[in-house]
Every structure is written in structure tokens, then in C-alpha cells.
């Protein structure tokens, strides 16, 4: 049985300064009964069905969104969406007038830090304090390759091993860590993954969001203690 990843975060890396491009953050959520694959302008974003997806893209204007539901292919649909420059938008897949649609739930302006154009500047100089954690975020291709490798493993112990190895060597976002945790069914293994990633989070100010991945009160408390330790 394929593992369902509840949340997926994808960041498109930009080679040139963000000041020269518009960039948008797009979040899509689906009901628990409808894991989906998402496409933009006929380009598939995720191969593994998810219930929630967040991605950063240097794109705006009219975009063709498509949601495919592997378990209910007859419900798959497309919709043309207009995205404003430099905005963060959130959509929910919901029924409207009897059919599924992408329904806009929120929209806000995105503010990007200025990036150094001095090629001789080292990474510490270019990395202005616009975040409080590690930098830079892991390459998306490497992240996706890791998820594919994890998906192929039949045993959770091996899945944990691969996830923890990646989390302990790469800089990841809180949303990515939550997606990794959602692959694991045993909460003790989620705790182990949290420990492995503790010092490798790009946005530690958001780290408490991972508490939503725990159901048992004792494990949620244990995760809280891990998060608070050393602060």
C-alpha cells in the first residue's frame, strides 16, 4: 500500500535576484477523502498524492490548475486561476454548485529580502538575518529524490533511517519536516526524526507546528520538551 504524504512543500530555486522576478506562494488543501496530484500549466508538481501542498513559484498571471484524484479519477478537474505578482494565496478544493473547484481562502502580499548582487560576497555576508535558522534550504530535487527513496522502502525502520539521515545533514523547512513525519505511523519514530532535525530547521520560529503531527498527549509533551530544549 502506498504511503500518503499529507503535506508537501516545494520551493523553486531562483538563480537570479528575486528583485528581477515576481514570485508567488501557492497552497492547496483537499478534504481527507481526496488525496490529489497537482499540475500547473500541464506540469505535474507531485507524483505522490497529498492532502495539502505548498509551493513557491516565479509565476503570476493566468495559470491552469489541475487536480487529479487517483482514487476517484472521475472527479479530476482543471481550472484557470489568476495569480497576482508577489502574493501568497491559499486554495481549498471544495464543491461549488455541485462540482469541485479551487476556492480562494486567503491572499496576502509577499515581501522578499534583498539579495546581494556582489559575486565576491561569501554566503555569510549574503545571508542577511531574514530568518532565524539554517541556510540555505535543501535543494528541492534532492528532497524529492529522498521522498521517492523512502516511499520504496517496505519497513518503517528503513524509512526513518533515510528520513533522519536527510534531516540531520540538510536544512529543511518546518513544512517539509511535517511532510516527512506524516510518512511515519509510529509516534516514537516521529520523535526520533524531530531530534535528528532539531538543529537543521530553516524556520525554527514555526517549529511548534510539528506538534500537530502527534495525537498522544505524552508524545506531544515530549516533542514540546525537545523543541524548547536549548532555547
Strand order in the sheet with 61-68: 43-44, 37-40, 61-68, 77-83
Residues 99 and 146 in one domain: no
Residues 51 and 92 in one domain: yes
State how many domains the chain has. Answer: 2
Average pLDDT on 199-215 reads 90
Q: What is the pTM of this model?
A: 0.47
Residues 192 and 144 in one domain: yes
Residue 132, pLDDT > 80, answer no
Residue 53, pLDDT > 80, answer yes
Residue 154 lies in a domain: yes
Q: So what's the pLDDT on residue 88?
A: 87
Q: So what's the pLDDT on residue 8?
A: 58
Residue 164, pLDDT > 90, answer yes
Q: So what's the pLDDT on residue 54?
A: 83
Domain end residue (candidates: 112, 131, 156): 112
Residues 98 and 180 in one domain: no
Amino acid at each position: 500500500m502506498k504511503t500518503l504524504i499529507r503535506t508537501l512543500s516545494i520551493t523553486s530555486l531562483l538563480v537570479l535576484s528575486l528583485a528581477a522576478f515576481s514570485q508567488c506562494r501557492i497552497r492547496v488543501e483537499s478534504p481527507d477523502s481526496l488525496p490529489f496530484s497537482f499540475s500547473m500549466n500541464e506540469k505535474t508538481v507531485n507524483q505522490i498524492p497529498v492532502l495539502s501542498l505548498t509551493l513557491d513559484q516565479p509565476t503570476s498571471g493566468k495559470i491552469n490548475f489541475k487536480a487529479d484524484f487517483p482514487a476517484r479519477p472521475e472527479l479530476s478537474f482543471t481550472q484557470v486561476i489568476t495569480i497576482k505578482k508577489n502574493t501568497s494565496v491559499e486554495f481549498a478544493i471544495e464543491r461549488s454548485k455541485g462540482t469541485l473547484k479551487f476556492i480562494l481562502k486567503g491572499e496576502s502580499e509577499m515581501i522578499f529580502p534583498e539579495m546581494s548582487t556582489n559575486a565576491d560576497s561569501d554566503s555569510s555576508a549574503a545571508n542577511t538575518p531574514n530568518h532565524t535558522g539554517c541556510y540555505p534550504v535543501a535543494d528541492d530535487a534532492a528532497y524529492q529524490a529522498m521522498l521517492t527513496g523512502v516511499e520504496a522502502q517496505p519497513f518503517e525502520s528503513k524509512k526513518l533511517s533515510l528520513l533522519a539521515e536527510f534531516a540531520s545533514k540538510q536544512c529543511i523547512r518546518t513544512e517539509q519536516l511535517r511532510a516527512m513525519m506524516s510518512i511515519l505511523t509510529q509516534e516514537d519514530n516521529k520523535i526520533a526524526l524531530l531530534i535528528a532535525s532539531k538543529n537543521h530547521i530553516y524556520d525554527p520560529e514555526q517549529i511548534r507546528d510539528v506538534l500537530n503531527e502527534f495525537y498522544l498527549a505524552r508524545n506531544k509533551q515530549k516533542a514540546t520538551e525537545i523543541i524548547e530544549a536549548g532555547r
